[in-house]
Amino acid sequence: MKTQMHYARQGRVTEEMIGVAKRESVSPQFIRDEIAAGRLVIPANIFHAGLEPLGIGINVSCKINANIGNSALGSNIAEELEKVKVAVRYGADTIMDLSTGPLLNETRAAVIQASTVPVGTVPIYQALERVGGKPEALTPDLFWDVVEFQAKQGVDFMTVHAGVRLKHVELVKSRLTGIVSRGGAILARWCQEHGKENFLYTDYDRLLEICRKYDVTISLGDGMRPGCLADASDEAQFMELDTLGELTLQAWKQDVQVMVEGPGHVPMNQIPMNIERQIKVCHGAPFYVLGPLVTDIAPGYDHITSAIGAAIAAQAGAAMLCYVTPCEHLRLPNLEDVKKGVIAYKIAAHAADIARQRPGARDRDDRMARARFAFDWEKQFELSLDPENARKVHDEGLPKGTTHREEYCSMCGEGFCAMRLSKGLGLDPFKKCPAVSDNES
């Protein structure tokens, strides 16, 4: 089997590249060249039927990922499939199944079958389940069996913490929160228990062989990511990043697609530096960031604290944002949590696309502005990220017993509505943006 990167480097344009080009309003040749350079990936396992391919890269629109998955303490397959539906409905570009509880294979198969967007996993979770939750009992052969099994199921991208080195483990002992990556902590324990180098690092070519066979995109996990602001941008984080840059080049030699995962808790002022450093160290490979959260004091609202950081990261060059839900740090997310997380991150990604001046990124905003000036409530609802909620919130302000929508809302009322008053000034909302029609979708 040949990968998208292989075909791109041979100068060939695949059907997947054509589909991505249409979605991004660019030429197929542009997509091909970005893949060949390693700046863009198309996660598309050959066994994922019904997949609608998309591109993740710095020079296309910013994407968002939604995490779902069973835990040992709750949820079931039906609930996880509902989460997939909700996530995709509100705009998730990819789904990660982070299941750690029972029925792992069945859950994953159902999620892949139900999802039209790329599906990712973290194979070390299932490997740990097979050894009863004891990291020291893991073996390389067991792990590779899990990776190949999941690849055969149709997983499009896999997070692997191959950059966690034995020499990095000592560096986290002075941290406030140690290692907060589950995969990173599992492999750090394995390295320490055995006094050996991480087998994902030493046997990396075995991973590349499997990924090349099924065209699975590698997502190089940041096992040493900071779990609080105090631990951000430290030696452990950046030493691992250097290793991820090395592993990126090694994968590219085998025509395996790669994206690189980024930090989780970072003060706002450090975010652009982190993104710029990753782009340089990892040779332009797409950066996939979790948040980052810009403060640690808002449990229950971390979809907001992280979306702030995500918008800054995307403006600086992050290619994909992994959502954080309101219940991060507290419990397993439910359907409403998934919805809120996805919408928060759609806002962040969209704001970044506007800031990066991507062609057409602001068109929907301009249509919304004209609809507001015209008091076209139905058009405003239609253009919103959550039409049902926009309609509900507006109608809650209507006078009791009426459904009539006036040319003002309950915030100001008729006499104090600034836009209503502005209409007497002879303003023409179509004059400023004549190229954008309200009839455009």
Q: Output the domain CATH number for residue 219.
A: 3.20.20.540
pLDDT per position as a tens digit, 322-338: 999 999 999 999 999 99
Residues 384 and 271 in one domain: no
What mean pLDDT, rounded, does the chain reach?
A: 94
Residues 339 and 311 in one domain: yes
pLDDT per position as a tens digit, 117-145: 999 999 999 999 999 999 999 999 999 99
In a domain, residue 275? The reply is yes
Spatial distance between the Cα atoms of 83 and 277, rounded to a whole number of angstroms: 34
Query: What 8-state DSSP symbol labels residue 34?
Result: H
Residues 293 and 401 in one domain: no
Domain span at 90: 62-355
Domain tally, the chain: 2
Residue 440's pLDDT is 46
Cis check for the bond before 429: say yes or no (omega within 30 of 0): no
Residues 289 and 150 in one domain: yes
- pLDDT band per the 50, 70, 90 thresholds, residue 398: confident
110, 107, 218, 112: which is closest to 155 by C-alpha?
112
Asked whether the beta carbons of 325 and 333 are under 8 A apart, the reply is yes
Boundary residue ending a domain (313, 337, 355): 355
Boundary residue ending a domain (355, 389, 424): 355
In a domain, residue 4? The reply is no
Residues 282 and 408 in one domain: no
Query: What 8-state DSSP symbol labels residue 74?
Result: B
Boundary residue ending a domain (355, 382, 409): 355
Residues 118 and 211 in one domain: yes
Residues 330 and 405 in one domain: no
In a domain, residue 53? The reply is no
Residue 415's pLDDT is 76
Residue 232: exposed, middle, or buried by beta-carbon count in 10 A (0-12, 13-18, 19+)? buried
Residues 350 and 368 in one domain: no
* CB neighbour burial string for 319-337, b if at least 16 within 10 angstroms, e if fewer: bbbbbbbbbbeeebbbeeb
Q: Where are the alpha helices (DSSP H) in 218-334?
A: 235-253, 271-281, 302-316
